[in-house]
Each structure stands twice: as structure tokens, then as C-alpha cells.
Amino acid sequence: MTTRETRPVAIPPVGDVAVPRRAMVLAAGLGRRMRPITNSTPKPLVPVRGRPVIDWTLDRLAAVGVETCVVNVHHLADQVRAHVAHRTAPQVVISDETDRLLDTGGGVRKALPLLGPDPVFVVNGDVLWLDGVRPGLTRLAAAWDGDRMDALLLVLRLAGAHGYDGPGDFFLDAWGRPRRRRPPEIAPFVYGGVLMIAPGLFEDTPEGPFSLNRLFNRAMDEDRLFAVPHDGEWYHVGTPAALALAERKLGEPNPCSDQ
């Protein structure tokens, strides 16, 4: 049981779904595994099929109705600032981490004053995806239930997680509640780096660096973490090999995915 007071937040609908108007892209990472490319280019600006990764994400956010996106910066921050300065859909607001890199959870915590009190989307800066019949972000928003959830993850089936080479992250029960893999298990689902989260989950978290995994564990312990499987394509582009795979796969005709 949760000890926090949880209240459903009414988000104005876009069409028939209450889609968050604000989001965050985690773009402050050093990109060590992408070196030497990231020695001179920040990871969010690494091009995939001629478009920087962050533009794939910002376009997806704009398409479902997100109006404002917070982008955190650290490594080669001026390049990221300059690149997103022209964006109006969504409008981009910078969260500056040039003095101290805060990891995923710490980065979102620092940005909470910019994100507001309502649930928001948070997206890793090194993933991109193609949607299935319905946008993955819309499917997250449609599945969101603030009475029962503090976080809702977009997950991928292990076999379709392009650029990922690990043993999986989660098992899901029939209600979409995840359980972490226990060694030596191979889990059928991978966290896709896309989620919807309630700012209240950050209560009592410390200032400074910490991982979002800490909050996933908290929500899981309180039976308030859920997941939705993605029904389109997904790519992790965190290494040169994964980038090459994405370039190759995205160049292949696929009538089942959007272009």
C-alpha cells in the first residue's frame, strides 16, 4: 500500500484520450558507448536516416498533442540548445545540468518545476520508435489510471528490441503489472525508455543523481507500476553497432509501420 496521498489528475483530452501536454526528453548523457561519434556530437543529435534522434522523439510528442517538452543538457550542451531553439511544436524548455549530471531520476526531479503537477511523458534520448495502428504515446495515455498508477512503462518484446543485447527486464502478469527478471532468468519484455509518470512519485527523493529505476522499484513495491507492450518497431541507438542496425532496418520497406 502506498503511504503517499494519490489523487487522479484531470488532463484535458486530445480527441478521445487525455494526453499529457508536457513531456521530458533525457538528453544529458555523456554517450560513452557511442564514442568516438559522441566526442564531437551529443548523443541526441546523432543522425539516424538523416535526422537527429531527438527530432524523431520531438515529432512523436508533437503528433499526439504534447505542447511543451523539457530537454535536459550536459554533454556538449550548447549544440543541443542551438538545435532545439527553433522548435515550436512542441516548444522546448531547457533544464541545465552542465554543472552536475543528475542521472535519469535526478534529472526529472530537477525539472519538476518546469513539468508541472500533472502526469507527464518521459523519454530516453537514445531510443526511437515507429508506431503501430495507434501511437505508442496515445496507448500509454489511454491506459493511464491515476487511481491505480504512479508510473506506466512502454515495453518491448525481447525479440523485437533492435539494438538491445541484454537478457530482458520484466515479466508481465495478466493485468500489466511488471516483475523484474531474477538471474539467471531471461525476461520476455524490455523497458523501451518511454513512460508516463506522476510527479508525486518523486516525493521524498533526494537532490542529486539517482536512477529512475529507484522509483520503478518503489512503485512496484506499492503495486502502482504498470506496463503496456509496444505494437510497433523500436530501436535503441546507444552504440555505433546499434546505430548501424537502425540505419539498415529503417531503410527496409515495412508496410506495417508508419514512415
Task: Note whether residue 8 is domain-resident.
Answer: no
pLDDT at 15: 53
Find all residues with CB under 8 Å of 86, minimum gap 6, and list them.
none
pLDDT at 36: 82
Asked if residues 118 and 21 have their Cβ atoms less than 8 Å apart, the reply is: yes
Domain that holds residue 37: 22-250
* Count of the separate structural domains present in the chain: 1
C-alpha span between 43 and 52 (Å, rounded)? 9
Task: Note whether residue 12 is domain-resident.
Answer: no
pLDDT at 34: 81
pLDDT at 205: 94
Q: Position 154: which residue type?
A: L
CATH code: domain of residue 45: 3.90.550.10
pLDDT at 150: 97
List, run by run, the mean pLDDT of 10-residue segments along the chain (259 residues). 39 66 94 82 90 94 95 94 93 95 96 96 94 92 95 94 91 94 93 96 93 96 96 91 88 48
Task: Note whether residue 200 is domain-resident.
Answer: yes
C-alpha span between 245 and 234 (Å, rounded)? 11
pLDDT at 18: 86
